[in-house]
Structure 1
Amino acid sequence: MNYRFQNLLGAPYRGGNTVITSNTTLISPISNRISLTNLLKSHSQTLPFQSSSNISRIAISPCGTFLLTVDNNNRAHFVNLPRRIVLHRITFNKGSVKFVKFSPDGRFIAVGLGKLVQIWRSPGFEKRFSAFELVRTFAGCNGDVTCVDWCPESRYLLVGSKDLTVRLFSMRKGEKTGGKTEKKDRAFMFLGHRDVIVGAFFGVDKSTKKVNHVYSLSRDGAVFGWSFSKNEEPGTPEQESEENRNVKKRKTLEEDGSAGLLDDVKWELVKKDFFMQAPAKLTACDYHKGLELLVVGFSSGVFGLYQMPDFVCIHLLSISREKITTATFNELGNWLTFGCAKLGQLLVWEWKSESYILKQQGHYFDVNTIAYSPDSQLLATGADDNKIKVWTVSSGFCFVTFSEHTNAVTALHFMANNHCLLSASLDGTVRAWDLFRYRNFRTFTTPSSRQFVSLASDQSGEVICAGTLDSFEIFVWSMKTGRLLDVLSGHEGPVHGLMFSPTTAILASSSWDRTVRLWDVFDGKGSVETFSHTHDVLTVVYRPDGKQLASSTLDGQIHFWDPIDGVLMYTIEGRRDIAGGRLMTDRRTAANSSSGKCFTTLSYSADGNYILAGGSSKYICMYDVADQVLLRRFQITLNLSLDGVLDVLNSKNMTDAGPMNLIDDDDSDVEDGVDKQTRLKSSYDLPGAVTNRGRPIVRTKCLRIAPTGRSWSAATTEGVLVYSMDENFIFDPTDLDIDVTPEAVEAALGEDQPSRALILSLRLNEDALIKRCIVAVPPVDIRPVVASVPFKYLNRLIQAFAELLENCPHLEFILRWCQELSKSHGHSIQENSRNLLPALKSLQKAITRLHQDLADTCSSNEYLLRYLCSTSSKA
C-alpha cells in the first residue's frame, strides 16, 4: 500500500533547456516532471512533483538551491532543490514564456514573456504573502523574446527577439536615486541580422573582469561581435564637449564596471563570422565567459565549439540525425550538454578528452511492454520504435539497446537464469538476447510470417511459446535447438495473453474470442480446459503459487478462476474504478463514458494478496484479492498536454471546427519547438478502440510488480513510471503497547539485553532502531538472539537484512545473521514461503548484487591478492 513515485524511465529528455548545477548534477525536463542526473555517480532520479503540462523552460539560481520551472501553460514552480519541494507557484499571463534566467547575484529573475521582458524579485527563503514581486517590465520588442543574458554585475540585460534585433536594457533607469527618478531612455539596439536571434551574450575582459564586448547569433548561422568605439573624429566645440563626456564615461566604465554605463557608450560592429552550415539552421547556443568558448547546435544534428573572439573552430562533430534543441556549458566549461528532443537523446561530452560523460536515449514512441529480471535489478522495455532497452532500476540508466527487430516490440520475458531476455515482435520473430555479450544468439521463426503479441516460457526454460495476432495460433519452440515443436490451434481471435503456471507445465492463454484456455504443452494433449467469458478477454495472469488465475475482459471486469477445479471463484467489477478522464472528442461526460474503460494489463503481488490493474485510463487500481475491494488508485499523470486527464472540459475551447487543441495551425513555426507526433491507430489496438489523432491519450499498456515486491513499474504514455516503498518515512507498528517505546529500546541496549531490544524494535517497527539493534548484537550472541525472535517478526527482520546489505559495510556480520536465521527458522520459512517470498527475494537481490561486485573486484585485483596471500604466508 505504501508505494510512492520514485523514477521515470524510457524518456531521458523530451524538450526544453537543460542546466548543470554544482558541476555534477544535470537537471533536465521530462514531459511535466524534472529529472536530476548525478554525472559522477551515474544515478538518475525524478522529482516527485508535477507541472500542469509539459515543462518548456527551467532556470537554476547561482547558489544551486532554487529551481524555477515553467510549463506550456505559463505556470511556474519555484522549487527548493535540496528539499525537493515546491515553495511557490505563479502563472505568467502576458504571453508565452520563451526564456527564464536568474541574475548572477540571484536577486532577480528575467522572464521573456511574449514581446516583454519582466524582472521579478527572487522569493528566496522568506515567508511572504505574495512571494513574487514584479520589479521592472521592459517593452519595445516587435517580436517574441528568444534569449536573455545578464551582465556579471546584474545591471544590464541583452534581449534578443524575433524582430532580428538585440536590445540592451539597463536596470538602473527608472529607479529612484537620491529622491529623484532617472530618465527612462530607450534601449540601445544591435542591428544587422537577417534572421531570428538565437543567442546574445556579454563578453568579459579576462584581466579586468569587466564587460568589453557583446556577441549576437542568429538562426541563419551568423555571429556578430560588438565593442565600444574608441576613436572619435574632431568636430565643433559642442561635439568636442560631447566627445569629452563620452571619453569620461568610457574611462569610468573601464575603471569601475559596477558604475554601469554600457548603454551610454557608442557600440559598433567589429566582426562578422559565419558557421557555413547551410541549409541547416542554428537552433541552440551557449557562451562561457571565463574560457571565451562558444558552443552551437544545428538542425542537422551537428554541433561546433569555437574559441572566441578569433572564431577558431575546436570541434565540429555530428551527434544526431535530428536538430539539437539545447546546448549548454557546465560552470567549469569542461563539459558540454546536448539534447535532441525528437529522438529523446541527452548527451554530456567532455571536449578536452573527447569522451562521453553521459549518453542516454529514450524510446521514440510509446513503450508497449516491460519485464523485471528475477533479481529485480534490471528492467527491460520494448516499444513501437522497434527497440529493446535494458535499464538498471537502482540508477535509472539504460546500459544496452537492441535494435534488430524491424517492427514494434510487443512482449518481453526474462529467463530464470537472469542473463537471457526473450522478445516478441510484429515482425514475425521471437528473439533471445544474451545479457553477458549483448547479442542476439537465437531467433525463432515460423514457416509463414506471423505477428506475435504475447510471449511465455516455462520455469525450466526449455520451451518458448508465442501467441499471434493474425492466425490466432500459439507456436511452441525448443530453447536449446530453436526448432518449432508444435502449433496450438483452437482460439478464434488474437492471443493477447500467455503465461505458464509457476508450479506446473500448464500454459494459460487468453484471446479476443472470449475464452481462456489451459494447454498441456509437454504431453501434447492440446487444450485441457476452457474458461468462457461474456466479453473479449484481454489478458491473463497466474498467481505466484499457481493456485489462481486472473483474467480481464472488455467490459471492465476481472475474473478469478481456480485452475485446478476449473470454477469461477469471484469477480471484481472495475469499470467504475477505472473510469475518469474525458477525451477531447468525447460527446459524453467522464461520469457517463465508463463503458469504454477496461483493464488491459494485470499483475499479481509477490505474495498474491493483491493485484494491480491498468488500462485505457489515467488510473491504476490496486485490489485486495480475497475481499475483492479497491485498496488504492494511482493517478499516473496530471499532465494536461495529454488527452484523457481532465474530467470536465472547458466549453470555451470548443469551436465550430472541433476542439481548439486539435486544430492544426499551419502558420506555426516548427523551429520553436518539437513537432507534435500524431499517434496513429496501430494494428494491435483493442477492438473498437477510439484513438485521438491530435494529442497522445493517457493510458497504461503494461504493469509489472518486481519479484521482491518492493516496487512496481507501469508502461504509460508518459514513459515507464517506477513506484517503490520507502519505509524510512512510514510509522507502522505491529504490536504497539504502552511499554514499547524508543526509550525502552535504548534502556534494553544499555542493560546489555540485545534480544529484548531487538524484539521491542521489531514491535515498534522503526527502521533506524531495528538496524541499530542488529548491529549492536555481538557476533557470539547472534545464534541465541535469532532463536528468540518470534516467527511473526521474521518478515520485517529479513527486510532489515536486505536493506543493511545494500548500505552497511559489515558484510560478513550480516551474512552470519542470515545463516543463523536459516538454521533456526528454516522449517518455518519453508512452510510459509508464500508470505515471506517478497522479503526473501529482496534479500536474494542484495546478496546477488554484492556477490557480483566482489567478483568483479577480485577478478580485477587477482594478482595483487595472490601477492598479499604469499607475503602473509611467508611472514
Structure 2
Amino acid sequence: MNFRFHNLLGAPYRGGNAVVTADGVLLSPVGNRVSATDLLKSQSQTLSFEASANISRIAVTPDGSFLLAVDSNSRALFVNLSRHVVLHRIKFKRPVTALRFSPDGEHIAVGLGKLIQIWRSPGFRKEFFPFELERTYSDFVGTVTTLEWSPDSKYLLAGSKDLTVRLFYLKERRTNKPYLFLGHRDNIVGAFFSTDKISGTVVRVYTISRDGGLFTWKLVENYDFDGHKEPDSDPPSPGTPEQKTSERDQAAESMDIDDNKRKRKKKGGDDGAEKPKILLHRARWELVKKDYFMQGSAKVAACDYHRDLDMVVVGHSNGAFGLYQMPDFVCIHLLSISREKITTAVFNKLGNWLTFGCAKLGQLLVWEWRSESYILKQQGHYFDVNCIAYSPDSQMIATGADDNKVKVWTVSSGFCFITFAEHSNAVTALHFMANNHTLISASLDGTVRAWDLFRYRNFRTFTTPSPRQFVSLSSDPSGEVICAGTLDSFEVYFFVAGFCSAVTLEQLDAKIFFDIFLQIFVWYMKTGRLLDVLGGHEGPVHGLMFSPTSASLASSSWDKTVRIWDVFNGKGTVETFPHTHDVLTVVYRPDGKQLACSTLDGQIHFWDPFEGVLMHTIDGRRDIAGGRLMTDRRSAANSTSGKYFTTICYSADGSYIFAGGNSKYICLYDVADKVLLRRFQLTRNLSLDGVLDFLNSKKMTDAGPLDLIDDDDSDVEEGVDQQTRRSLGQDLPGAVLNRGRPVVRTKCLRIAPTGRSWAAATTEGVLLYSVDDSFVFDPTDLDVDVTPEAVDEALKRDESQRALLLSLRLNEDSLIKKCIFSVKPADIPSVSSSMPFKYLQRIVEAFAGLLESCPHLEFLLLWCQELCKAHGNAIQQNSRSLLPALRSLQKSISMLHQDLTDTCSSNEYLLRYLCSTSTTPK
C-alpha cells in the first residue's frame, strides 16, 4: 500500500510563465504543482511538492539548481530541483507580478505591484532566515510587468503599466533616480539588454509594449561624464544601518568613477588601453528606431529575447507568434498556433527551440524554428475529465472529458499521443478491449464509438433507433458484445411536452415511462448490429460491468437496485439485489466471486453474485467527510451533502477497494476486515473549493464569501475564470460577479491491471499514484541465519539455489537480482522446479523489473519459461493472488516485443536498401 504521487495527466499547462533550464527541461505551472518535461528524453513528470494555491510565477537559477515558485496568495517555495525538495518558504506582502534571478544567481528581483524588491538568493547553506531583503525600488506609478538583468548582474530593467521602462543600478540606493525610457503608448510587455558579440558590453535596449511597438534604444558613447552626483533628498540618519549601506554604495561608485577617470587619462597616451566603464543609468540613450508588429487589433501578450542570436519572439492575443532578427527587425517566421491568447513565449538556452503556452486551451508547444518542426505538442482537457481506462498491459491510459474529446496517454512518458474528437457531446465512459489495441467510448451525443489504436481512426459506431444518452459502458471478456447504459432520452422532453396538456405528471405511470426510455443496449462488436435491448431499470443506469470470469452482466441504477443479466441466453434479469437508497456504481472483483456497489447513503455493499446474499457493508460517510464549501452554512463534520462514493474499484488482487466521490479524499479499505487503511488527499490547493475544513469567518460579507466576489476592474490575465465570464457575457469592467470556484472531487477511479499504480480523474486533472521505488524492508520467514552475509557465503561456495532462497526470504531486491544471475543457464530448470510456491510472486516481480532495464533478454525469458512449466497448475489455482505480478511480467514482455519489432523492421528496410544500392565492381 506504499502508493506515492507519480504524475499529473490531462493538464500540461494552465497559465503562468514557462521556463527552460540549461539542460533542456521545460518547467511549467499546472495548478498548484510544477510539471517538468525533459525535451531531450521525451519524458514528463510532475514534481511532488504542492503550493498553497495556483502557481502564477516561476523562476530558475542560471545553473538549474533551484526553482522559485510563487502562487496566487504570494507564498513562495524555494525548491532543490535535483531532489524535488522544498528548502525554504517565504510570504510576500503583495501579489507578485514579475520574478527573475540574476545571471550570477546571487540575487532575486521580485515585482510586487508598484514595487521592486531585491532579495539575496539562498543556496545550499543552512540558515535560520535565508531570504534577506537588500533594497526596494518604489518609483513606479503602475504595476511592474517585466524584469530583466544585465549580463554582469549590476543593472536591472523594469517595465510597468505606467508606460515606462526604468533602468536601475544596484550599487546605488537613493543617490540618483533611475533612467527612464519613455515614448510607449501602452503597457510594457518586455524590456531586454542587447550586448556586443565581441566585447560583451551592453550597447542597446529593446522595449516592447502591448500595442505592438518595439523601440530600439542605442547607447551614446561620446558623452561628457565627470561623475557628478546629486545629493540625497532625504539623507539617512547618522549611525543607522541605512547610512552605512548608503556610504558603502557611494564608496563603491566613487571607486568606479575614479577608475573611469584614470582610464580616460591613460587612453590619450596608450592606444591599447581599455575603454572606461560606462554607468548605464548615467549615460545618454538615443531612440534610434520604432518598429511595429502590425497584427491589427491583436495585442502582444508574451515575448522573449535571445541575447546571443539577437532575436525577439512575440506571442499575440489572436494566437499568432512572430520571430524577428534584430536590430534590423527582419521577420523570420510569422505563424498561428491557435485562435486564443498566447500566455507565455520563451527561448531555450541555445535559441533553437521556442516554447509557447496557451492557458485557455491548456496547450504547450515547443517548436524548432530552423527545421520548422515540433519538438513537443501537448494539449490537455480544458473541461472536467469524466472517465479513465487502463489498457490491459498498463502501458496506456485513456481519458474522456466534457470537451467531447478522447485522449490516449503513455503512462511511462506522460505524453498524449492521439486525440479523438469525433464525439459531439461529453464523453462519459471508456473501456479497453482485451486485444489492447481497441478503445470503446460512450457519449451523451447518443453514440458508442470504437477506436483503432493502430490506424488511429473510428472504425465502428454503435447507434440506437432513437436518440439516447449513454453514461456507462462494458464489454464481455471475449470482446464480442458491447453494452451501454442510458441516462436519458432526447425523446423524453417531446414526450412530456406532447402529453402534458392531456394528462398530469401524477397520472403518468413512472414505471412505464422509464421502462421505455431507460434501457441497456447490446451490440455485436464485429458487425455493429444491435442485438438486444434490456429493459427493467426505472432510473438512469450509471453502473455497468461484465463478470471477468463469466457472461453475467451487472448493472446499477438510481432505482435502488442492482441487476444481474444473462446476455447470451436472452433470459433477461437473472437476479435483482434491492437497496434502500439509489445505487451509484457497481464493480466486480477480479475473480468474479464478489460484487461491490455504492449507494447514496455513503455505504459500500458487497454481494455474492452466485448466491444473491449480502456478505457485508462498509459505512464510509465519516471517512469521506472533509472539506467545506464556501457557500456551506454548516461545518464539514456536520454537513450531509455529498457524503457518498460515486466511483469505486477493486485492487488487482481483490483484497482492497478504492472509493472516491465529492470530497478531497480517496479512501482505501480492506475488504475482508472492513476497515479503512488509508486516505489519500487529492490536493491542498486553496484555489479550489472544498479543501479547507474550517472557513475564516472574517471573509464572510452580506453579499457572500469574499473569495467569491470579483470587483476587480483591471485587465487580468486570461484563465479559467475569464473563460467562464466571457461565456456568460458578464465580463464587464467594474462589474461585481460571483465567479465561483471549482470544487475538488473525484469522478472516476481505475487501478492498473498490474496493481502497481492507480489513476483518479479529479478537478485538478488525472492524478497517477504508483508504488514507491524506494526500498522497504519486508522480510519473509526471517531467521537468525538468514542474513546478507549468509547469501554471500552461499554464492562463494557456488550454492546458487540456496543463495536464491535466502535472498527471497530476506526480500531484498538487490540480493534477489544478484542471485538470479548467479544461476547457470543449465541449472535453471532444476532451480525453478524446486522453488517453493510462496516465493513465486516475489521472483516474478523481480523478473518483471529486470526485463525493463536488463539486456540479458534470452536468459530472463528462459527463467520465465521454466517457471511456467514447473508451476503451471499452481498458477492456475492461485490466479487471483498472482494476477498483479503476472500482468507486470506481461507488460514488460510486451514492451520488449514492441521494441524488438521496431528494431527488426528498421534493420530489414536498411538491409534491403543496402542490397539494392550495392554494385558489382568492374
TM-score w.r.t. the length of structure 2 is 0.89
**Contact 2:9 2:767 (C-alpha < 8 Å) held by counterparts:** yes
Mapping for residues 163-202 of structure 1, pairs under 5 Å: 163-174=162-173, 184-202=175-193
2:749 — aligned with what?
703
| 1: CA distance, partners of 2:328 / 2:726 | 50
> Is the contact made by 2:264 and 2:275 (CA closer than 8 Å) also made in structure 1?
no
1:509 aligns with 2:555: yes
5+ long unaligned stretches in structure 1: 175-182, 235-243, 682-691, 870-875
Counterpart residue number, 1:39: 39
Q: Is the 8 A contact 1:335 1:348 kept in 2?
A: yes
1:750-792 deviation digits (Å, cap 9, x = unpaired): 2222112211211111112211221222212222222332211
Q: Which residue of 1 aligns with 2:496?
A: none
After TM superposition, give the deviation of residue 867 of structure 1 in Å: 11
Matches of 1:342 and 1:256, distance apart in 2: 52
Q: Does the Cα contact within 8 Å between 1:576 and 1:594 map onto a contact in 2? A: no
Closer, same or farther: CA 404–249 of 1 in aligned 2, 3 Å: farther
Partner residue in 1 for 2:350: 332
Is 1:53 aligned to 2:53, yes or no?
yes
CA deviation profile, 1:314-370 (whole Å, cap 9, x unmatched) = 000001121000000000000000000100000000000000000000001010000
CA distance in 1, matches of 2:882, 2:441: 31
Whole-Å separation in 1 of the counterparts to 2:275 and 2:52 = 42
Cα pair distance change 1:675/1:171, threshold 3 Å: same
Return the alpha-carbon distance in structure 2 between the equivalents of residues 815 and 66 of structure 1: 44
Deviation, structure 1 residue 143: 1.2
Structure 1 residues 558, 140: closer, same or farther in 2, change over 3 A? same
After superposition, the Cα gap between the structure-2 partners of 1:694 and 1:784, relative to the gap in structure 1 and judged at 3 Å, is same
Task: Mark the CA change 1:679 to 1:838 in structure 2 (over 3 Å): closer, same or farther.
Answer: farther
Q: Where do 1:53-132 residues align within 5 Å? A: 53-93=53-93, 95-132=94-131
| 1:842 corresponds to | 888
Task: State how far apart, in whole Å, the 1-side matches of 2:276 and 2:802 are.
Answer: 68
Q: CA–CA distance in 1 between the matches of 2:78 and 2:48?
A: 14
SS of alignment partner, residue 270 of structure 1: strand
Contact 2:312-2:326 within 8 A present in 1 as well: yes
| Residue 450 of structure 1, aligned match among 433, 443, 468 | 468
SS for the counterpart of 1:846 is helix
- Determine if the alignment matches structure 1 residue 782 to structure 2 residue 800: no
| Partner residue, 1:627 | 673
CA distance, structure 1, for counterparts of residue 882 and residue 224 of structure 2: 91
User: 1:723-752 deviations in whole A, cap 9, x for unaligned?
Assistant: 111343322222222332222222222222
CA apart distance, 1:33 = 0.7
2:614 corresponds in structure 1 to 568
Corresponding letter in the other structure for 1:655: T
2:865 equivalent in structure 1? 819
Per-residue CA deviation, residues 474-523 of structure 1 (Å, 9 max, x unaligned), is: 11111111111111111111110000111111111101111111111111
Q: Any idea what the Cα deviations from partners look like across 1:413-433, whole Å, max 9, x if unmatched?
A: 001111110000000000000
Tell whether 2:397 aligns with 1:351: no
Q: Which runs of 5+ in 2 are unaligned?
A: 226-256, 489-516, 728-737, 916-922
Cα displacement string for residues 559-586 of structure 1 (whole angstroms, at most 9, x for unaligned residues): 0001100010000000100000000000
Cα distance between partner residues in 2 of 1:517 and 1:14? 42
Residues 375-429 of structure 1, C-alpha deviations (whole Å, 9 max, x = no match): 1111000000000000010110100000000000000000111111000000000
Q: What is the one-letter code of the residue matched to 2:279?
A: L
The answer as to 2:155 corresponding to 1:146 is: no
Distance 1:215 1:729 in 2: 53
Q: Give the whole-Å Cα distance in 2 for the aligned partners of 1:577 and 1:769.
A: 40
TM-superposed CA distance for 1:673, in Å, is: 5.5
Q: How does 1:517-556 map to 2 (within 5 A)?
A: 517-556=563-602
Structure 1: distance between partners of 2:443 and 2:574: 28
Equivalent residue number for residue 24 of structure 1: 24
Correspondence for 2:217 among 200, 206, 226: 226
Do the aligned partners of 2:359 and 2:718 also contact (CA within 8 Å) in 1?
no
Q: May I ask how many residue pairs the two structures share in their alignment?
A: 845
Q: Is the 8 A contact 1:249 1:265 kept in 2?
A: no
Give the SS at the match of 1:729: coil
- Report if the CA contact (8 A) 1:23-1:330 is conserved: no
| 1:267-306 correspondence runs (5 A) | 267-306=285-324
Whole-angstrom CA distance in 1 between matches of 2:264 and 2:620: 77
Letter in 2 for 1:80: N
CA deviations on 1:62-107 (whole Å, 9 max, x unpaired) are: 11111111111111111111111111111111x1101111100011
Partner Cα separation in structure 2 for residue 676 and residue 608 of structure 1 = 45
Residue of structure 2 in register with 1:735 after alignment: 781
* 2:847 alignment partner, SS class: helix
Question: In structure 2, how many angstroms separate the alpha carbons of the residues matched to 1:673 and 1:448?
Answer: 39
Q: Assess if the C-alpha contact under 8 Å between 2:13 and 2:357 holds in 1.
A: yes
Q: CA distance change for structure 1 residues 615 and 260 in 2, over 3 Å: closer, same or farther? A: farther
Are 2:433 and 1:387 equivalent residues in the alignment? no
Residues 304-703 of structure 1 aligned to structure 2 (within 5 Å): 304-470=322-488, 471-665=517-711, 667-671=713-717, 675-678=721-724, 694-703=740-749
Work out the CA distance in 2 between the residues paired with 1:398 and 1:96: 34
Q: Offset at 1:652? A: 1.5
The CA distance in 2 between the partners of 1:221 and 1:718, in whole Å, is 35
- Secondary structure of residue in 2 paired with 1:104: coil
- 1:688-729 Cα deviation digits (max 9, x unpaired): xxxx96000000000000011011000000000001113433
Q: Structure 1 residues 425-434 or 17-26, which shifts more? A: 17-26
**CA distance, structure 1, for counterparts of residue 880 and residue 640 of structure 2:** 36
- Alignment partner, residue 735 of structure 2: none
TM-score normalised according to structure 1 size: 0.93
Residue 257 and residue 286 in structure 1: after superposition, are their counterparts in 2 closer, same or farther (change >3 A)? farther
Separation (CA, whole Å) in 2 of partners of 1:250 and 1:139: 35
SS of 2:465's partner is coil
Q: Is the 8 A contact 1:502 1:544 kept in 2?
A: yes
**Shift, 1:232, TM fit:** 6.2
1:748 is matched by which residue type in structure 2?
A
1:555, 1:595 within 8 Å by CA — same for their partners in 2? no
Q: Which range moves more in the overlay, 286-295 or 734-743?
A: 734-743
8 Å CA contact 2:223–2:283 kept in 1: the answer is: no
- Closer/same/farther in 2, CA of residues 191 and 532 from structure 1, 3 Å limit: same
**Which residue of structure 1 aligns with residue 495 of structure 2?**
none
1:238 paired residue number: none
User: Separation in 1 of the partners of 2:726 and 2:470?
Assistant: 20
The offset of 1:646, in angstroms, is 0.3
Within the candidate set 717, 725, 747, 2:771 is matched to: 725
Instruction: State yes or no: 1:205 paired with 2:196.
Output: yes
Structure 1 residue runs of 4 or more that deviate by more than 3 Å after TM superposition: 230-234, 244-260, 670-681, 863-869
Alpha-carbon shift at residue 266 of structure 1 (Å): 1.2
Contact 1:623 1:632 in 2 (8 A): yes
TM-superposed deviation, 1:309: 0.6
Q: Are residues 233 and 619 of structure 1, via their aligned partners in 2, closer, same or farther at CA, if it must alter by over 3 Å?
A: closer
Cα distance, 1:864 vs. partner? 5.3
For the 8 Å contact 1:345–1:362, the answer to whether it is kept is yes
TM-aligned CA distance change 1:672 to 1:372, over 3 Å: closer
Deviation at 1:861, TM superposition (A): 1.0
Q: Distance in 1 between matches of 2:273 and 2:838?
A: 77
> Which moved further from structure 2: 671-680 or 51-60?
671-680
User: Is the 8 Å Cα contact of residues 579 and 617 (structure 1) preserved in structure 2?
Assistant: yes
Specify the alignment match of 2:251 in structure 1. Answer: none
Q: Percent same amino acid among aligned pairs? A: 73
In 1, Cα distance between equivalents of 2:913 and 2:418: 36
Q: 2:282 is paired with a residue of what secondary structure?
A: coil
Letter of the 1:715 counterpart: A
